[in-house]
């Protein structure tokens, strides 16, 4: 099994010495750099770079610069997606956004993690667990979404929240770690 196959299967893998993964990250970094250096008014060029970088785009999206991701091809974006400045997506495990997702500035969506055992972690090994974000989700600024999380539909996430476990539909959450603040009727 290749390191990429291990990565996509959610197993421990080595991203630091696998030539294929290094080349794929390098390509994504170059596309992110190109995107981030474009004039904000160059909407057609910006859209074209995102189409080359992002794995699947369902409809209209707007990502304010700067934007950073690991691979890009493991990201799916639904229709009517908006992200403010400084979105970071570590997409080794795959990230799927539903329709009508709005993200505040300085947010991180992290599918990658490292083992707790120091000897394994110090070998540079990591794992990746998918993240799924439902429809009609509003994510406030400085939110951190951790590996393996599923966020339901019609969710509002308060600024500064750390999302470390699954979130049900129709709730407002906030805090570190998050708590359900109220249900949305």
- Dist. CA 95–CA 110, nearest whole Å: 9
Q: How far is CA 72 from the centre of its chain?
A: 9
Sheet of 131-133: strand order equals: 56-57, 75-77, 95-97, 131-133, 150-151
User: Judging by beta carbons within 10 Å of its beta carbon (0-12, 13-18, 19+), is residue 18 exposed, middle or buried?
Assistant: middle
Catalytic status, residue 85? no
The residue written with tokens 């010495």 in the block is 17
Q: Which of 85, 114, 159, 168 is catalytic?
A: 114
Angle between helices 43-53 and 19-37 (to 10 degrees): 170
- Dist. CA 142–CA 39, nearest whole Å: 25
- The region that residue 80 occupies, defined by phi over 0 for left and psi between -120 and 50 for alpha, beta otherwise, is left
User: Judging by beta carbons within 10 Å of its beta carbon (0-12, 13-18, 19+), is residue 66 exposed, middle or buried?
Assistant: middle
Active site residues per annotation? 114
């Amino acid at each position: 099994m290749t390191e990429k196959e291990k990565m996509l299967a959610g197993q421990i893998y080595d991203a630091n010495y696998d030539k294929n993964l290094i080349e794929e990250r390098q390509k994504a970094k170059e596309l992110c750099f190109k995107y981030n250096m474009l004039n904000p008014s160059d909407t057609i060029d910006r859209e074209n770079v995102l189409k080359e970088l992002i794995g699947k785009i369902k409809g209209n999206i707007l990502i304010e610069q700067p934007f950073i991701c690991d691979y890009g091809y493991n990201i799916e974006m639904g229709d009517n997606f908006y992200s403010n400045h400084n979105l970071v997506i570590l997409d080794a495990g795959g990230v799927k956004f539903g329709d009508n997702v709005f993200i505040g500035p300085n947010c991180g969506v992290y599918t990658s993690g490292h083992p707790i055992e120091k000897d394994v972690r110090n070998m540079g090994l990591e794992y990746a667990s998918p993240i799924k974000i439902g429809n009609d989700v509003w994510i406030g600024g400085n939110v951190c979404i951790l590996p393996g999380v599923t966020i339901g539909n019609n969710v509002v996430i308060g600024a500064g929240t750390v999302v470390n476990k699954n979130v049900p539909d129709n709730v407002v959450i906030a805090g570190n770690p998050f708590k359900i603040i109220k249900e949305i009727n």
